[in-house]
Amino acid sequence: MNIRALQRLALAAMLAVPVTAVAHRAWMLPSATVLSGEDPWITVDAAVSNDLFYFEHFPMQLDGLTVMTPDGSPGEAANQARGRYRSTFDVRLTVPGTYRIAVAGGGFSASWRENGQTRRWRGTREAMAAAVPANAENLRVTLGQRRIEFFVTRGAPTDRVLQPINEGLEMVPITHPNDLVAGEPARFRLVLDGKPAGGVEVEVVPGGNRYRDRLGDMKIQTAEDGTFTVTWPGPGMYWLEAAVRDTNSGLPNVQRNASYIATLEVLP
């Protein structure tokens, strides 16, 4: 199996299970999150790795990459490329305000027994009927949804792109995500299909864990209204992740795994 096929298989598997259940972490890392000037750009690395923000495993697929400009209209991700360990792209911040940049998507996975062998399949809902036997032995079908994103601001921050899309698991910032300061609390709300996601564990990990003896992670439980507070122990880039497993897939007997990941920069 070639490397591209391995990448597709691994990332498809991430759609089917919560991120906390796999060994590797997916992330996007922008070159900056707060910019000014006449013609600002950012460059973004995107990868799946053991150590946060250190590319050593394989590149993230950029299928489902979107750029939302400050007024909510779609923007462009320029110069997309994929290397051996990371994918990259650039974004030109053409107008002032806050941008939301995400890789999001979903898909179905299935497993069953056939002639004493375990069969596996991954793909779209439309293709599932033809590929997966409805009366298969030990059939298990899962819908995986994921969103991996970050926010970047040119000039003064705005809040249009902070509104939820109301699909899958999302974080709705209460404190602006480009106004995070070390030692100060920041508040967020986790929502699932636009409704408060209470009782969900959120993991927050500072970058640079390759150079620490301990992961340094924080685990925070959301309140009934989905809110949670993070007090940043120091400046730097942070990785935030949450996952939910339920039966709200829209299909009978189909489980859903929804995951959310954000990269946030905390300033001194």
What pLDDT is attached to residue 108?
85
Q: DSSP assignment of 184-221, as one string?
A: SEEEEEEEETTEE-TT-EEEEEES-GGG-SS---EEEE
What pLDDT is attached to residue 54?
93
Task: Give the Cα separation of 149 and 170 in Å (integer).
Answer: 10
What pLDDT is attached to residue 110?
86
**Beta bridge pairs of residue 103:** 65, 148
What pLDDT is attached to residue 15?
43
Give 57-89 pLDDT, tens digit per residue.
999 999 999 999 999 999 999 999 999 999 999
What pLDDT is attached to residue 23?
54
Higher pLDDT, 12 or 173: 173
In this prediction, residues 88-101 reach a mean pLDDT of 98
What does pTM read for this prediction? 0.84
Listed range (15-19, 95-99, 158-162, 233-237) with the worst mean pLDDT: 15-19
What pLDDT is attached to residue 13?
43
What pLDDT is attached to residue 126?
76
Higher pLDDT, 72 or 142: 72
Give 149-194 pLDDT, tens digit per residue.
999 999 999 999 999 999 999 999 999 999 999 999 999 999 999 9
What's the DSSP call for residue 7?
Answer: H
| Residue-averaged pLDDT of the chain | 88
236 in Cβ contact with 266 (< 8 Å)? yes
What pLDDT is attached to residue 11?
45
Asked if residue 148 has pLDDT above 80, the reply is: yes
**Domain ranges in the chain with CATH number 2.60.40.3880:** 3-107+142-266
Give 25-65 pLDDT, tens digit per residue.
999 999 999 999 999 999 999 999 988 999 999 999 999 99
Listed range (15-24, 53-62, 106-115) with the worst mean pLDDT: 15-24
106 in Cβ contact with 12 (< 8 Å)? no
What pLDDT is attached to residue 19?
39
- Identify the CATH number of the domain defined by range 3-107+142-266: 2.60.40.3880
Sign of CA dihedral 171, 177, 180, 185: negative
259 in Cβ contact with 245 (< 8 Å)? no
